[in-house]
């Protein structure tokens, strides 16, 4: 984490991007560190949101490529996880993409959206809404103290 925080906004982008992919990383620690270190909150939140949404877009395109391709590539998302996400996605619809930030369920949801060929603009809107909301909440909690 020290490397990422020392890179400032570039580290924030990298952390948020990687956290949104299938890698088991989180970006909140970098966000909190940068906020406490005096970085401009709006810049940190904007960069974190952009990186996290673009990372989710990678998952979406993996889903568009197909379940078999995902399995062969060793994506880190198992077929049972993806199947569960597809069932959840079909039950709750596209609105479930607002939860793309939630650990464990978020990444499979974004892959499921690709598999189901959700409209890209709708995908970007809903995922951005959820991820921005999460970063605003974290930043608000940090800055309130």
90 compared with 18, residue with greater pLDDT: 18
Which residue shows structure tokens 């970063």? 135
- The SS3 call for residue 118 is coil
Tell me: pLDDT of 118 over 70: yes
Kindly report the backbone phi and psi dihedral angles of residue 8, in degrees, each rounded to the nearest multiple of 5, phi listed first.
65, -130
pLDDT, tens only, 66-92: 766 555 555 566 677 777 777 877 888
pLDDT, tens only, 25-71: 889 999 999 999 999 999 999 999 999 999 999 999 988 887 665 55
The pTM score is: 0.86
Q: How many CB atoms lie within 10 A of CB 42?
A: 9
Structure tokens at 140: 């608000």
CA 47 to chain CA centroid, Å, is 13
| DSSP element (H, E) containing 140 | helix 120-143
CA 114 to chain CA centroid, Å, is 14
Cα(130)–Cα(70) distance, integer angstroms: 25
Cα-Cα end-to-end distance for the chain? 23
Which residue shows structure tokens 């409209």? 119
- The SS3 call for residue 28 is helix
């Amino acid at each position: 984490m020290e490397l990422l925080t020392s890179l400032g906004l570039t580290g924030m982008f990298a952390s948020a991007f990687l956290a949104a992919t299938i890698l088991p990383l989180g970006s909140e620690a970098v966000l909190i560190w940068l906020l406490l270190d005096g970085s401009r909150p709006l810049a940190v939140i904007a960069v974190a949101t952009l990186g996290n949404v673009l990372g989710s877009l990678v998952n979406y395109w993996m889903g568009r490529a197909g379940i078999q391709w995902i399995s062969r590539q060793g994506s880190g998302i198992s077929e049972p996880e993806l199947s569960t996400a597809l069932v959840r996605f079909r039950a709750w619809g596209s609105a479930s993409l607002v939860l793309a930030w939630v650990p464990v369920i978020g990444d499979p949801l974004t892959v499921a959206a690709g598999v189901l060929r959700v409209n890209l603009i709708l995908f970007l809107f809903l995922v951005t809404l959820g991820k921005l909301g999460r970063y605003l909440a974290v930043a608000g909690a940090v800055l309130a103290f």
